[in-house]
Structure 1
């Protein structure tokens, strides 16, 4: 059971941090940013004799994993994120937060956790949508285009990283091949488990279409799993930190590009929000990625449908967890009726699926 981060728990964390920061440490809470379901996030200020460190604690929750396992030996999602960030810091040309350390002994804070350095900047949030409020809305048109281009350049650089050098081969079990078909199978099983017999017509339509139309995609490599502007910390229009790797996989790069483009749809068409001046449309974003990657991704439509299938299934999982926590009634229909499901239905209607 996780421990409240007060009193004895903060003292235990201070003792744990001391060898990592090089001296006696005093720790104080510094806030809790809005976060998703996969882990608890806590901001900290840790003070040694002459230095104050701004830190971020990510701690495993008591809930079952938010995302499907890529391999039996994945471990807790907090470990997946730490191992991935450590590998990317060593082998990828993308900015990640400086890692302080990882702890899997629940005796310290009640569950596994890791600590990383705080990276200052702003994050394009979903609520309210960054396309309707905040720095992205307030930016000059040319800056909006440059920001999206910069994000896609980060994505292309991640896809160029050597998964072997990043020590991420454990994401593919022996005897398995890191194909798009494998990802579809993983997420299809996940959707069935979370639906638990309930009807979800949009997911059913997508599944049927994907069975007939999902291509192989490009050469498999490191796939971020949740590639979107909101998982990047920005300083102005420059990406300064890439975050949230709990859904990481070894898969064709189109898995990520399809997710990026589908997420764009959820922030525009699904919410009835017009594209802003200077903001590249999805065709332009495909071209921006192709220029950064040095290869054309081809028709990304099947991977956008796969992204919508994944996203709609994740919402089912998220609502199941909220019901289990007692936060919402079991009779709610958010699991079926939500912006990602709307965006998926719109996309399926467009392609006649």
Structure 2
């Protein structure tokens, strides 16, 4: 899924977050860059006991979060947004995380990195996805006038990357997509990734969790705990859907390669949430 998997940077980001915040990052033991032991670099963390909302099957279908009460789910959602705000509150992130920096505007670098990922994962080998290219064009045409100050963007901000004890976060995981950028990158991703699961549930006539991580609720809670009001959120929700489309199209291509799926003449079908992304681009998607 990554052209280059930078484990050293991931380790440095986690160490920096642990040093600068009260966010529950697992205690790091060491980073091993010598491949002799396991055949690849690795890092070691202390074990954290708890439970994680499932991706497979998605937590909107079954499991401990599905079985929780609305009040318990709200507690988990609020605590998750609180953790995100703590991460975003790290002062002077460019100085603390110089390995994430670069020339020009951080949002532009972020989008160009996604464009490069699309080329590497799909387009350069002849797997062009018209819907993804349409989404990149939409992004270019709807660029925010003022993206605002940079924060440390967690990158994969969602409950499925947190270990909970009860309904309280005790470990924040998966920092391989960390970057500098506007707060809304993470906010849009958190809202979108839950809605992706929720739309799957409603599409097969299951209730899902319609009361969980709703767009307006996330924005309101984030404003309450951070004092910051999200801007240009429609842009960042489309951007989240675009980023996820690249991931899902790469997954589809990999499945075909290993004989786990069949190809299609309509390359837009490589995007599992095709209808969702199309509606976002058309401005017809209906939020709660």
Task: Give TM-score scaled by structure 1 length.
Answer: 0.72
1:90 is aligned to 2:23: no
Q: How many residues align?
A: 278
Q: Deviations over 1:56-81 (max 9, x none)?
A: xxxxxxxxxx3466xxxxxx432222
Q: 1:88·1:166 contact (CA, 8 Å) conserved in 2? A: no
Cα deviation, residue 266, structure 1: 0.4
Cα deviation, residue 229, structure 1: 0.8
Q: 2:201·2:208 contact (CA, 8 Å) conserved in 1? A: no
1:292 is aligned to 2:221: no
| 1:222 counterpart SS class | strand
Task: Give TM-score scaled by structure 2 length.
Answer: 0.87
Cα deviation, residue 130, structure 1: 0.6
**Structure 1 CA distance, aligned partners of 2:12 and 2:114?**
22
RMSD over aligned CA atoms reads 2.5
1:185 is aligned to 2:107: no
1:195 is aligned to 2:122: yes
Cα deviation, residue 343, structure 1: 2.9
1:102 is aligned to 2:31: yes
1:255 is aligned to 2:185: yes
**Structure 1 CA distance, aligned partners of 2:83 and 2:3?**
25
Q: Deviations over 1:205-248 (max 9, x none)?
A: 31121111121422111001100110111111101110000011
| 2:30 counterpart SS class | strand
| 1:146 counterpart SS class | helix
| 2:44 counterpart SS class | strand
**Structure 1 CA distance, aligned partners of 2:65 and 2:47?**
22
Distance change (3 Å), C-alpha of 1:327 and 1:81: farther
Alignment map for 1:68-87 (pairs within 5 Å): 76-87=5-16
**Structure 2 CA distance, aligned partners of 1:280 and 1:105?**
41
Q: 2:131·2:268 contact (CA, 8 Å) conserved in 1? A: no
1:161 is aligned to 2:90: yes
Cα deviation, residue 158, structure 1: 0.5
For residue 269 of structure 1, what is the aligned residue in structure 2? 199
Q: Which runs of 4+ in 1 moved over 6 A?
A: 332-335
Q: 2:191·2:214 contact (CA, 8 Å) conserved in 1? A: no
Structure 1 or 2: more strand by fraction: 1
For residue 263 of structure 2, what is the aligned residue in structure 1? 331
Q: Deviations over 1:43-102 (max 9, x none)?
A: xxxxxxxxxxxxxxxxxxxxxxx3466xxxxxx432222111111111122101111111
Q: 1:97·1:241 contact (CA, 8 Å) conserved in 2? A: yes
Q: Deviations over 1:16-44 (max 9, x none)?
A: xxxxxxxxxxxxxxxxxxxxxxxxxxxxx
Q: Which has the higher contact order (CA 8 A, sep 6+)?
A: 2
Q: 1:123·1:233 contact (CA, 8 Å) conserved in 2? A: yes
Distance change (3 Å), C-alpha of 1:205 and 1:274: farther
Distance change (3 Å), C-alpha of 1:110 and 1:275: closer
